[in-house]
Chain A
Amino acid sequence: MPSSRMRTAEGRIVCNEGHGGIFYRLEAALPDPVGFVPGQFAMVSGWPGNDPLLPRPLAIFRSAAGPKGKGTVEFVYKVVGRGTALLSGLHPGAPLSLTLPLGRGFDLGKEGRLYWLVGGGVGFSSVFPAAAALARKRADFEMFLGSRTRDQLPPKEWTPGGTAPGRLHLCTEDGTAGFFGRVTDAVTERMGLLSASEASRLTILSCGPWEMLKELALGAANRGVEMQAALESHMACGFGVCWGCVVALREDEKTAYRRVCKEGPVFDAREVVW
């Protein structure tokens, strides 16, 4: 049984290659397999030296049990700065330092619900594991993926849950693939077509840029749709000891700062002060 206990692990890179020019898939061998809830993440480092000093948070994309009780874990990432650039330069065989699994993932526990999974940009990295889990449970779900242009959509072979008709909706801001426009517009438009009883059965699971999540959250709140949002934040530790990563949440009548790495990264969208 893969253990979902938080631990540090020295991994070894098995594969770290670019896909479609913008996403990298990083696979590492681990001493033992990792169990995780979709939306949970790891703190990852591997470059030598002290600069950058801090590890980087990456959503756990997949994990598997390997031979002889060992395991593997996979991440997908986009190069946006120094840390991810250094990560992209690491070769198979190189060590990778990991702390995982971290945070609170998506709640997929409820029976009889309809799920819409919404991923913006590299946000598909936490949405795909949720899709895979829902597909295994034969739950009812659809997936909306948005990007600026066709080349920035995730490679087809990574898309879980099969290609049942009506299941996958691609959106590009320049109209080069799928729906012409932003993924928020596509989702809001579809939400507008739902009956009240359909809306009450729907849960949106989402990950992407703050502005996208904010707009979705407002749209969902208007239609009485439940939404779980996986947030990002700058992190130092990733396991709840520095209080650096907080986001403002509404609690009763007050707001409180809660840690994205511990109480999140997945939050009930109605509680977030957007």
Chain B
Amino acid sequence: MKPDLSVTLGSLRLRNPVMSASGTFGYGLEFAPFYDISRLGAIVVKGLSLAPTHGNPPGRIVETASGMLNAIGLQNIGVERFIEDVAPRLADAGATFAANIYGRTVEEYEEVARRLSGLPSLAAIEVNASCPNVKEGGIAFGSSPEGVSRLTGRVRNATDKPVWVKLSPNVSDIGSVAQAAEGAGADAVSLVNTLVGMAVDHRTRRPKLSNVTGGLSGPAIKPVALRMVWEACKRVKIPVIGIGGIQTAADALEFLLVGASAVQVGTANFRNPGVCVEILEGIEAFLREERLSGIGEYRGKLAL
């Protein structure tokens, strides 16, 4: 019997738990040459802002031990062009897709969310509450439960779409931040975003990124991400989407095991553009092998 790969995230049912992570998958259509993009649980597109954004000067990426740092600076085409040019083509391709959004102010977040609400084909809005450059009253939104709560509440009121809040790992108590999102009406939380890091050249004595610091991703962050997802799962009732260093079906299963309802795959897409489908097939093979009827029989079953 074919195992049931479908998962539910609140009111939303996905055909499987494998999604792409924002910023590592373009606008989704770029992967159509490699496989049928409608096979994914969902595609999460590059972070969208109200106006197109130029991003940071070059010196945007640095490879590190089993990982990479990026400081792209959220270069994107802006929400309007996404709605007009990209969303219809994603819908035509039969893809389930979510929009990752960010703003410089709470009002910008609200406005981007409002504009996206009119897109019938859009499955969800993922709020990037972890951008270190976004400040309000001197507090970065993502770094405190209060900031996350305020941002979540405002976006929640601006849209009828499911709202996923993407959390920063650069906090001391991830559980409290996840609870704050839940309390303010989030339909799910996704974590983790990148860990703030830095690379310098000891000879030239210069930083390797134009932005000096950047976000660490890839297998190097997986243990940290797994621990944070596990902690968040214990503290909230809403679904948790696990992200961070996932490269194989086994990695994805580990996140499901500690309680995640779904996963997102990021940096691994760079080395192997076909990786999401390989992970998907690997999960199905595992469920068969273990004679499990579906994800539900496995999720959160960590034996402590």
Which residues of A pack against B, CB within 8 Å? 5-8, 45, 50-55, 97, 99, 233-248, 256-257
Contact = CB atoms under 8 A, between A and B. Distances in A.
Nearest to A255: B54
Contacts, number: 91
List of 7 A-B pairs having minimum Cβ-Cβ separation, nearest first: A244-B61, A241-B26, A237-B270, A50-B66, A236-B270, A50-B219, A243-B75
B33 A6 contact: yes
A8 B34 contact: yes
Given A50-B219, A244-B70, 17 more contacts: A53-B66, A53-B67, A53-B68, A54-B270, A55-B271, A99-B273, A234-B61, A238-B270, A241-B26, A244-B60, A244-B61, A244-B72, A248-B58, A256-B54, A257-B54, A257-B55, A257-B75
B271 A53 contact: yes
B30 interface: yes
Contacts of A52: 63
Interface in B26-48: 26, 30-31, 33-34, 46
Interface of A is mostly: loop
A51 B273 contact: no
A241 B271 contact: no
B204 interface: no
A54 B68 contact: yes
Nearest to B58: A246
A240 B26 contact: yes
Interface size grouping (class) on chain B: 20 to 34
Nearest to B28: A241
Given A5-B33, A241-B24, A246-B75, A236 B61 contact: yes
B62 A234 contact: yes
Nearest to A259: B75
A8 B274 contact: yes
B132 interface: no
A253 B267 CA distance: 35
B258 to A, nearest CB: 21
A242 B273 contact: no
Nearest to B218: A53
Contacts of B61: 234-236, 242, 244-245
Contact of A97 (B62, B65, B272): B272
Contacts of B31: 241
Nearest to B65: A51
Interface string B145-189: 000000000000000000000000000000000000000000000
17 contacts: A7-B33, A7-B34, A53-B68, A53-B271, A54-B63, A54-B270, A236-B68, A238-B270, A239-B30, A240-B26, A241-B269, A242-B23, A242-B61, A243-B46, A245-B58, A245-B60, A247-B58
